[in-house]
Structure 1
Amino acid sequence: MAAQFGRRLRKGVTTTAVAAAAVAALAASQAPGATTDGQGGQTTSDAMPSPEEAADAGATGNSPYYTDLPPLNSPNPAPSASTGTDTSGVTEAGIPATVLDAYKRAEATLREKKPGCNLPWQLLAAIGKVESGQARGGRVDADGTTLSPILGPQLDGNGFALIKDTDDGAYDGNSSYDQAVGPMQFIPSTWEWAGRDGNGDGREDPNNIYDAALAAGHYLCRFGWDLSDQRDLDRAILSYNQSTEYLNTVMSWLEYYRRGTHEIPDGTGTLPRDRSDSTGTVRPSPTAPSTPPSASPSPKPSPKPEKPADSGTPNTPPPTTTPPTTPPPTTPPTPTDTVDHLENAGTAQFTAMAGDAFTERMSARAETDAGKAVAKVRIRFTVISDTDTTFTGGESVATVLTDSSGVAVAPALRAGEKTGSVIVQATVVGRTVKGVTYRATVTERAADTLVRTGTKELTCTPGGEFADAVELKATYEGAVADKVAATATIVKSAEDPTENDKGPYFKDADGKAVRTLSGLTTDADGLLKLPQLYADDTEGTFLLRVTTAGGATVTIELTVAAAPAETEPPAETETPDPSGSPSASPTA
């Protein structure tokens, strides 16, 4: 009773008149096509809105939703049942494995596609809880599709919005009126433009939690909303279902999940009870088939009667026998239930250069305790080390379904710029069994060839500067080697790589002479252009050696010599006159 009273008290607090007024103002201000008239009131534009703007009824058509609120106790740290504390927080904090995976995958995708939205997966979890109780406690198959349709009531205007059929019953099976469909409860007209393919099967299915979660993420991120801003967050939630109570309920679950949650097996999630369209209790579909309506319930077994005393009377009635009970229905085990452990199904060596894709892909094999392969099991590969290495697409988590041989092959890893060891773990979604740990190595970018791009001799006079710059190109296995570290040094000789203290030099930031430059890097085209070279007063031939990571080396001659002396033309002389008299003009 105390828990129920606390729950009702919280419900009342979150629906105060002040909160209602504030949310109503937000809802009005963000409504599509809303403008302000001369009196400061709201009017609606006559212009035809775009499909994304035509969301007056929200993603769900303002369909009913579950109003259950989270427990008062925090899920983190988790209370212990052995200590006698209330463990409802632990139970409610659990999210079915496949459903949780879908939320996190949608967040990762939106982080790449719409980074400015800042969508937290906990928001998708909060909406999923309110809309369908996390797909009815995680009753989904290995692909993430609900085991049975999740449909809201038909929107016929009888207590709900009036939305006549828009899809000819393709999604909801109703050719008269629309109904909200799937674990995120999209109405068909909204799904038509908001639907996404979240699991890569080539279809956009509102009954699939991966598709629905990604569609919900895109829906909440439209209009350039930044969900880290409370005003935009309120607008986004209200656009899903324009109800003050809905906003408060979703926000309660969002904060609850932010405090901590954990993964539980599919089909074992707690089911909500209270719905916004009923004052009584609404019980959602059970997780296991129930007794058919036509079957009579099994009578409760009678207690075994005591043996009566022998009175010698032949009319003593026989003892009452206990009727047999009907065995409870059983659910056949799923493929995931039969997995005992994972085995490494590929190579143990994974190495790639920074920025490159790994040529080998990680793979795991799901097996029973007898070593038999298990197909159609979801395997999650997670990069858990502190690295910027990710799977193709920029995600650190990838979930793959095992094939007929029980093998799941992860997407290719792409090395980041951080070098060193990378750890990847493979686990079974929905089961706590022995997994597989992979180790990969990221090496620094390297070049195996380094050549000078020009052929002109590099010369300079003592105390001068070289007119031509030194430019080189680095390659690795014939391809451009970009972002490769290099070092340039004026060495003493071809056999002695130590730095020369005489001859050509570079200048540092303070203008001082330096004969070794480190920290050089090739550009996107593999080119390396060295700074200006200068010469001191020492004449001679000197060597410039440039070396890259990976061992590529080139040695270039630099000549410092004085300019040749200029020669003067011979002076003009007079030719003597044979007659002995001086000539008036020189003879040619």
Structure 2
Amino acid sequence: MAAQFGRRLRRGATTTAIAAAAVAALSASQGPGAIPPPSDIASGDGSLGSGDSSTPPGGSATGDSPYYTDLPPLNTPNKPGTSIDLPVITGPAEAGIPATVLAAYKRAESALQTSDPSCHLPWQLLAGIGKVESGQARGGRVDANGTTLSPILGPVLNGVGFANISDTDDGAYDGDRTHDRAVGPMQFIPETWATWGRDANGDGRKDPNNIYDAAQAAALYLCAADRDLAVKADLDKAILSYNRSTEYLHTVLSWFEYYKRGSHQVPDGTGQLPGDRSDTPERELPVTPPASTPTPTPTPAPPATPKPPAPKPTPTPTPPAKPTPVPTPSVVRIKDNGTGTLTATTGTLFAERPAVAAVDAAGKPVAGVALEFELVGDTDTRFTGGAVSATVKTASNGVAVAPVLRAGEKTGTFTVKVTVTGRTLAAVQYQATVSARTADTLARTDEKALTAVTGTAFADALQVKATLDGAAASGVALTATLITSAEDPTPHDRGPYFKDAEGKPVRTLAGLKTDENGLLTLPALYADDQTGTFLLRLTTPGGGTLTVELKVTAPEAPSEGPSPTPSGTPAP
């Protein structure tokens, strides 16, 4: 009976124990990091208790599909304090991430830093999930545009050993019109992809088989429900919303911590492939037969002396056939691909993105060409993520599209220069313009009369609102001037005034800006010794103008009392 109990090894229990040991070892040897999951799911696979608002109707991003259970080695790929971006093909194989896959993870992190900075999404988390979901897109088997060379499909979710999810996409993504299957390098089920799918590489398609699109969708999905992934509880919830398994949580956390300690880039298609999966059948261990009474073995007759074999003729080796080289198209020039005018107002996104095509001598598109987009000139405009340059490979149609541009606070023009990386081909250049934000209307927020007595401050502050086409105009520059008259806008040399930083009188203030609601409360105004009615004029770019009356009066004279009655004795 004891032998029978020892015959089978349960993979789930074993890998769970190994995962827990690995997480504990990483935590002990690498400082703060992996922490056991919340107590309500601390043992075995389980749900998230009260649930999570970002989890789709199917229950998880992957439909709880199978995943790779391989764990990272206990020795870290790097030492504390050293770089996490090691040179190409350096370090242990387990730490290598295919170049295009790594670029997709980092692009997704950069995008979330702009769109949802409070989420604090690290690219290493995407790498950990990508490792256990698809082995980093099967070791980086993707084309120049980031699409897998062949579809990556999970098992049919028909309720036999897995969730039962009926078809939701008419087979568009998974080829199955009866049940759904997890699709692509990040293993989204079609139901989830319909909500979270994104076109991150600018090819006009939301493709779960494209690592750029899939990584961007995974980043958004993990950050849903206002999660802050720097908080351990939110990190656990995000991972478990991807696959509701505590063993899955441990495995992803193990790779997450491993990649944070060090990683390096390897060529596409050369990444290390994992072996064990969570749906692998239980393994049979060798069985030792029970002891029994040995059967006497007869003594064998002495063997006959064998004759030496005749020498075999040495075959003449046939040289291997040399493969016929396939000529690779060579890019001969790059050209604009219909980019519109690049304009934006300060602090906003450019609506247009530079698009450049690479073509060969016959004018046909060339895919996989690395183009560098660089911002040249005195500007604080930046690409998404705060970079002044970005390298993008041309897609299958030969076109590369620059990342989104965000205008800074400097107005003026600058140049976007596009070159072929490592080549001296003629560059493509675009002029971009950043202009000031505008308002077409300025109005007071109240109708109080603005009055003061000579030598004192005006009692009430002046607040105005700027609008553009009826909507609040935020960040609009405003200039305030005490003018000579309605017909003469030159600054007055007498009357009310503002104070500069040193407390000296000034009658023109520039550089004021409206807040996010288009409102601006002006600094305090003071009256000098001049009485009368004065004019304050406010102007903004875009034509917004407002003229306000200021009245200064003299202090009231003290009232005279009755004449005193003379004292003394009246004359007789």
Task: Give CA deviations for 1:98-148 in whole Å, capped at 9, x if unaligned.
Answer: x33433444455556655443222211221122222212322245543221
Tell me what 1:275 maps to.
Answer: 276
Aligned match for 2:355, one of 347, 351, 363: 363
Output the amino acid matched with 1:167.
D
1:326, 1:263 → 2: CA distance? 33
Match of 1:32 among 42, 47, 50: 47
- Quote how far apart the aligned CAs of 1:67 are: 0.9
Please tell me whether residue 323 in structure 1 is matched to residue 331 in structure 2: no
Size of the aligned set, in residue pairs, is 490
Which residue number in structure 1 is paired with residue 6 of structure 2?
none
After superposition, what is the alpha-carbon deviation per residue over 1:309-333, rounded to whole angstroms, capped at 9, x for unaligned?
xxxxxxxx99954324244698885
RMSD (Å) for aligned C-alpha atoms: 6.2
Q: What amino acid is aligned across from residue 323 of structure 1 in structure 2?
A: T
Contact 1:379-1:426 within 8 A present in 2 as well: no
Q: Distance in 1 between matches of 2:90 and 2:455?
A: 83
After the TM superposition, which residues 264-343 of structure 1 pair with which residues of structure 2 at under 5 Å, given as runs? Answer: 267-276=268-277, 277=280, 321-327=316-322, 338-339=330-331, 342=334
Q: Is the partner of 2:149 in helix, strand or coil?
A: coil
Contact 1:66 1:132 in 2 (8 A): no
Q: Distance in 2 between matches of 1:330 and 1:271?
A: 28
Q: How does 1:168-317 map to 2 (within 5 A)?
A: 170=171, 172=174, 180-186=182-188, 191=192, 196-199=197-200, 205-222=207-224, 224-241=226-243, 246-259=248-261, 261=263, 267-276=268-277, 277=280
Whether the 8 Å CA contact 1:446–1:476 is kept in 2: the answer is yes
Please state if 1:76 is matched with 2:83.
yes
Q: 1:481 to 1:256 in 2, by over 3 A?
A: same
Matched residue type, 2:90: T
Indicate the larger mover: 219-228 or 477-486.
Answer: 477-486
Deviation at 1:354, TM superposition (A): 1.3
Pairing 1:485–2:485 present: no
1:52 aligned partner: 56
Structure 1 residue aligned with 2:365, among 354, 359, 374? 374
Matching of residues 564-579 of structure 1 within 5 Å: none
Alpha-carbon separation, structure 2, partners of 1:477 and 1:547? 16
Greater relative contact order, per chain length (Cα 8 Å cut-off, separation 6+): 2
**Structure 1 residue aligned with 2:161:** 161
Where 1:364 maps in the other structure, the secondary structure is strand
- Cα deviation, 1:248-287, whole Å, max 9, x if unaligned, reads 442333234335556555x33313143243899xxxxxxx
- Give per-residue Cα distances to partners, 1:145-184, cap 9 Å, x unaligned: 3221223456789xx9344563399355568886543212
Task: Please give the alpha-carbon distance, in whole angstroms, between the structure 1 residues aligned to 2:496 and 2:233.
Answer: 64
SS across alignment from 1:103: helix
- Check 1:432–1:12 CA distance in 2 against 1; reply closer, same or farther (3 A cut): farther
Structure 1 unaligned residues grouped into runs of 5+: 1-9, 36-44, 281-316, 566-588
Task: Please tell me whether the aligned partners of residues 195 and 205 of structure 1 are also in contact (alpha carbons under 8 angstroms).
Answer: no
CA distance in 1, matches of 2:250, 2:175: 32
Are residues 164 and 175 of structure 1, via their aligned partners in 2, closer, same or farther at CA, if it must alter by over 3 Å? Answer: farther
Among 126, 130, 135, the residue aligned to 1:133:
135
Corresponding residue number in structure 2 for 1:538: 530
Pairs within 5 Å for 1:502-517: 502-506=494-498, 515-517=507-509
TM-score (norm 1): 0.59
Structure 1 pair 427–135 and aligned structure 2 pair: CA distance change class (3 A): farther
Q: Provide the C-alpha distance between the structure 1 equivalents of 2:95 and 2:543, rounded to a whole number of angstroms.
A: 58
TM-score of the aligned structures, taking structure 2 as reference length: 0.60
Residue in structure 2 matched with residue 61 of structure 1 by the alignment: 64
8 A contact 1:390–1:416 mirrored in 2: no
| Residues 345 and 268 (structure 1), Cα distance of their counterparts in 2 relative to 1, 3 Å cut | same
Please point out which of 92, 99, 102 is paired with 1:100. Answer: 102
Moved more, 453-462 or 62-71: 453-462
In structure 2, relative to structure 1, the CA distance for the partners of 1:262 and 1:344 (3 Å cut) is farther
Which of 145, 148, 152 is the equivalent residue of 1:146?
148
Q: CA separation of 1:114/1:69 partners in 2, compared to 1, >3 Å: closer, same or farther? A: same
Task: Name the CA distance, whole Å, in 2 between partners of 1:101 and 1:22.
Answer: 30
- For 1:580, the equivalent position in structure 2 comes to none
Q: Return the match for 2:91 from 72, 88, 91.
A: 88
Q: Distance in 1 between matches of 2:471 and 2:90?
A: 60
Give the 3 Å change call, closer, same or farther, for CA 61–450 of structure 1 in structure 2. closer
Task: Report if the CA contact (8 A) 1:152-1:181 is conserved.
Answer: yes
Question: 1:304 corresponds to which residue?
Answer: none
Distance in 2 of aligned mates of 1:438 and 1:367: 19
Q: Distance in 1 between matches of 2:449 and 2:67?
A: 82
The one-character-per-residue Cα deviations of 1:289-347 (angstroms, maximum 9, x if unpaired) are: xxxxxxxxxxxxxxxxxxxxxxxxxxxx99954324244698885x7xx4477566789
Secondary structure at 2:512 match in 1? strand
Gaps of at least 5 residues in structure 2 are: 1-17, 28-33, 284-311, 558-572
In the alignment, residue 215 of structure 2 is paired with which amino acid?
A
Query: For residues 117 and 444 of structure 1, what CA distance do their matches in structure 2 show?
Result: 31
1:14 aligns with 2:59: no
| 427 and 237 in structure 1: CA distance in 2 versus 1, 3 angstrom threshold | farther
Distance 1:166 1:214, change over 3 A: farther
**1:65 to partner: Cα distance:** 0.7
Within 5 A, what are the aligned runs for 1:422-441? Answer: 440=432
Matched residue SS, 2:356:
strand
Q: Secondary structure at the match of 1:520?
A: strand
CA distance in structure 2 between the aligned counterparts of 1:16 and 1:452, rounded to whole angstroms: 64
Q: How far apart are the structure 2 equivalents of 1:21 and 1:118?
A: 18
The higher radius of gyration belongs to 1
1:550–1:262 Cα change, 3 Å = farther
CA displacement 1:409-458 (0-9 Å, x = unmatched): 54774424355787767577xx7667878775645546899999999999
Q: Is the 8 A contact 2:462 2:521 kept in 1?
A: yes
Give the percent of matched residue pairs that are identical in Structure 1 and Structure 2.
46
Measured after TM superposition, the shift of residue 217 of structure 1 is 3.1
1:475-534 C-alpha deviation (Å, 9 max, x unpaired): 99999975333443547899996773x433357999997645455335679787756755
Question: Which residue of structure 1 lines up, in the alignment, with residue 513 of structure 2?
Answer: 521
Letter matched to residue 135 of structure 1: A
Secondary structure of the 1:123 match is helix
